[in-house]
Chain A
Amino acid sequence: MIKVLVEKDSYYDSVFLMLIASEVKKVPGVEEAVVSMGTEINTELLREIGFGCPEIEEATPNDLIIAVEAEDDQTLEQAFEKARELFSRKKIQRESAEAYRPVSLDTALKMMPEANLIIVSVPGRYAFREARRALEGGLHVMLFSDNVSLKEEIELKRLAAEKGLLMMGPDCGTAVINGKPLCFANTVRRGGIGLVAASGTGLQEVTCCIDELGQGISQAIGTGGRDLRPEVGGTMMLMGIEALKGDPQTEVIVVISKPPAEAVARNVINRLEETGKPCVVHFIGLAGAGSSSQSTGRVLYAGNLEEAAGMAVALLQGRSYRPRTFTLAEAEVKRLVEQEVAGMSGRQKYLRGLFTGGTLADEALILFEREIGGVYSNIQTKPELLLPDPQRSKEHTIVDLGDDLFTQGRPHPMIDPTIRVDRLRKEMEDSEVAVLLLDCVLGYGSHPDPAGAMRDSIVRAKEKAKQRGGYLAVAASVTGTEADLQDLQEQREKLESAGCIVMPSNYQAAMLALRIIQKGGGS
């Protein structure tokens, strides 16, 4: 039984609607539920999955569509009732709100002329126009939206540079300005380390490691993932570095990005050297503890995200950095590895890395490629190692579950853990899996209990392995701080109580998984 309701002229943001859809789907007997605005993409999707009808044909991007398929009429009614209840909760919240919510940016600026920053997270096709208006209005911009064209990004950054304003993005998910978390960010201690990053979860990992080491950050500027491409030339990265140069709170500067083109890298390094402050650079995937021969000694190259934090803290404290892989003593690590490998069957030989953070997946993938090679992924640069079916792991596999492939019509896995739980259910049927590698990202924007959400599946996966006469090792890390709204300690404990080995960082978790694979190795 199908029921479709179209409410004209009722705009809601996509995340809110997807969360409502996932609640409605939980009503027993509901087979499918879609709650979305009537954009072309959405109406096409609805048609494809069998909800096509005249109301949907006529729906506009300003109309709300609720479409439910259930086993009987009664369930349909319950589903719609659930949806109504969730919508009205929001309405009541908004009605008791104090101020009017402006529709246009012009009015917002009139209502709050002293505003200095705007967060733009509207659908990509509208983002350029709004961000440009914002810059013209003198606002610094945090542009969370993706699906903004490269050409538009170049124009926005040109305008931002001309006006001397921040243009963080597009596709910038994380920043912390003046201690205030913007979009997905952790509550990190304030201190003397300033960061500029072209990677969201990379920034989260480094800032959390800094916090864990007892130090803090002055500013964490996001640039968006494409900033260091040759066409964009690292505009925001360079502006960010320059701004941190002039910031009295910033004593050490950290830069995080995927390896940029030669010319851009040179500009970045030069500008870092010109700051006169000690700097740490981490180009993800480029190894290099200690300083490079090309630098003046003030710019250090870190080999991984945690190391970037460690080096920065050492510089801040005026001591030299002692590189090490594990926090635990080597003997302890050996013992752990042996313990994990002990119960494994001869069939078990593969790694499965299931990540919600793109850069964390990247870090693990690069590490494994370097050490053992032949790792499949949906984010592989080698075409022969791209997963043929992203939904099915093959041999050694590391997946970035936040990739567009997985998030069509669904919230990002950092917000909604069900994508990963679904994948875990598949992995646990595979008797050739030796190690699971997981991230767990806390902070604003993330799910209130990511560890709790996957705990049961981890326990079941281990049970299944045991029933098959083997043992499933699970290595994990939790990216977060004591001050995050999810309880860091409790998150770690939830995973540990399920049998995970929780390591202090993504890098260490990946390294542990590597050791287990190397030791086990299908022997």
Chain B
Amino acid sequence: MKVDIEKANLEAASRMLRSKPVLVDISTAGEVVPGLEKKTVLHAGPPVSWQRMCGPMRGAVIGGLILEDLARNREEAEDLAASGDIIFEPCHHHSAVGPMAGVVTWSMPVWVMENKTFGNRAYCTLNEGLGKVLRYGAFSAEVIEKLKWMAGDLAPILGEALRRHGEIDLKSLISQALQMGDEGHNRNRAGTSLFIRELAPYLVMLDEPREKIARVFSFMHGNDHFFLNLSMPACKCTADAAAGIEGSSVIYTMARNGTDFGIRVSGLGERWFTAPATMVEGLYLPGFSAEDAAPDIGDSVITETAGIGGFAMAGAPAIVKFVGGSPRDALNFTQAMYEITVAENDTYRIPTLDFRGTPTAIDVIKVVETGILPAINTGIAHKEPGIGMVGAGLVKPPEKCFHDALEAFVEKYGE
């Protein structure tokens, strides 16, 4: 063999485990996201053209262009998007991640996460809340107004509180949240609570009108998924640390854009291996059914990539019911994930498995060999832009991505 694959994989896993994601700042995308320009629109998942984008992502793009004053309404936005003047890029190509449509534009506030061990950073917008929001493809006046409030009030206030508090150790918060019934992808209630608790003493001391601060608190409190936009960049800068290791078959990126599902492998550079996104199997909110569902979408699968989310499902019994399974199913899913990963996490642990570390660092070779695909818990978006979440469930990524990645890996490193 040309390389010691096992050794390379152990190195990749080790880098993930040694990573320490820390929240260092809030800023705006234009200021901190590398390579972002006024006419750049970042999106979730692997590269996709405007023509191929699904409904919710198109809606989010429209909203983004309107937000940046590049278009005044839907028609203008669509024309602009199709004109070739807009640069569409995956968040992943700019050290960023975004949930659902994952659209990031110049003026949007972003969390700044730093991997203290290796120095690399990751960025993510703040979570808008549920229902009619940009990430589900809504772009109405209310949506734009809320985004402007987030940039004008929410982010600066949180930013100031954060500066007074100092950096927040996200690894520690995630670790605690996992022991409180969260899994960091579909269930983030504990994480959100811990985060509010962390900043509360500093928020109340700010020199701002009480109503404004109260609104910030209410906003966070009313959104159980607020923490998702922190766990995601934490996982992103963790997974990125494992990228680019010669001979490693560890997967450092998994992402979807609503059209395609894509993965990237450490020893194969920045090449994407994509296949059509699959449909999520799950439970639907009252009034909705499988017919309403959009295909799998979002960068939030970065959580599974870093060893939480679906990989910590055994510790999140509430999720299990939501995804239509029994506690036994949740245990089995997690157990199966140990078959396809390189390491057991030394910080993120699962109480119901005797505090065993979560399965971390997915090995594409093992995925193909065992036929076990990574288990992903995810929300289901409505296929029409702007309606919102219609359910949640389990999704199996398309196996073609892994087969193609294996083939490329063998071409490069095999006998």
Q: Which residues of A approach B to under 8 Å, CB–CB?
A: 9, 62, 95, 100, 102-104, 106-107, 110
Contacts and interface: CB of A to CB of B under 8 A. Distances in A.
A148 B370 CA distance: 22
A5 to B, nearest CB: 20
B336 interface: yes
A140 B370 CA distance: 23
Given A100-B336, A103-B372, 11 more contacts: A95-B328, A100-B331, A100-B332, A100-B335, A102-B339, A103-B370, A103-B371, A104-B366, A106-B339, A107-B338, A107-B339
A9 B399 CA distance: 12
Nearest to A110: B338
A62 B371 contact: yes
Nearest to B372: A103
Nearest to A107: B339
A107 B331 CA distance: 15
A452 to B, nearest CB: 39
B211 interface: no
Contacts of A62: 371
Contacts of A104: 339, 366, 369-370
21 contacts: A9-B371, A62-B371, A95-B328, A100-B331, A100-B332, A100-B335, A100-B336, A102-B339, A103-B336, A103-B339, A103-B370, A103-B371, A103-B372, A104-B339, A104-B366, A104-B369, A104-B370, A106-B339, A107-B338, A107-B339, A110-B338
Task: From B328, B332, B338, B369, name the one whose CB has the most chain A CB atoms within 10 angstroms.
Answer: B338
A102 B370 CA distance: 10
Instruction: Sort A-B residue pairs by CB-CB distance and give the 9 closest, nearest first.
Output: A100-B335, A107-B339, A103-B370, A104-B370, A104-B339, A103-B339, A100-B332, A95-B328, A103-B372
A271 to B, nearest CB: 39
A103 B338 CA distance: 10
Contacts of A102: 339
A149 B370 CA distance: 24
A95 B371 CA distance: 20
B352 to A, nearest CB: 13
Contacts of B370: 103-104
A58 to B, nearest CB: 15
A318 B279 CA distance: 75
Interface string B369-394: 11110000000000000000000000
Nearest to B338: A107
B88 to A, nearest CB: 35
Contacts of B332: 100
Interface string B331-346: 1100110110000000
B123 to A, nearest CB: 37
A95 B335 CA distance: 14
Query: Considering residues B331, B339, B371, which has the most beta carbons from chain A within 10 angstroms of its beta carbon?
Result: B339
A244 to B, nearest CB: 38
A107 B369 CA distance: 13
Contacts of B372: 103
A104 to B, nearest CB: 5
Contacts of A103: 336, 339, 370-372
Nearest to A96: B328
A516 B338 CA distance: 65
A104 B336 CA distance: 10
Nearest to A9: B371
A352 B331 CA distance: 56
A330 B224 CA distance: 91
A466 to B, nearest CB: 59
Contacts of B331: 100
Q: Of A9, A95, A104, which is in contact with the most chain B CB atoms at under 10 Å from its CB?
A: A104
A9 B373 CA distance: 12
A170 B342 CA distance: 32
Contacts of B369: 104
Contacts of B371: 9, 62, 103
A95 B330 CA distance: 12
Contacts of B338: 107, 110
Interface string B43-60: 000000000000000000
A150 B370 CA distance: 27
Interface string B156-181: 00000000000000000000000000
A96 to B, nearest CB: 9
Contacts of A9: 371
B200 to A, nearest CB: 41
A103 B335 CA distance: 10
Contacts of A110: 338
A9 B370 CA distance: 12
Contacts of A95: 328
A102 B366 CA distance: 13
B248 to A, nearest CB: 17
Nearest to B339: A107
A107 to B, nearest CB: 5
Interface in B190-222: none
Nearest to B326: A95
A166 to B, nearest CB: 26
Nearest to A62: B371
B207 to A, nearest CB: 56
A428 to B, nearest CB: 49
Contacts of B335: 100
Nearest to B329: A95
Interface string B89-113: 0000000000000000000000000
Contacts of B328: 95
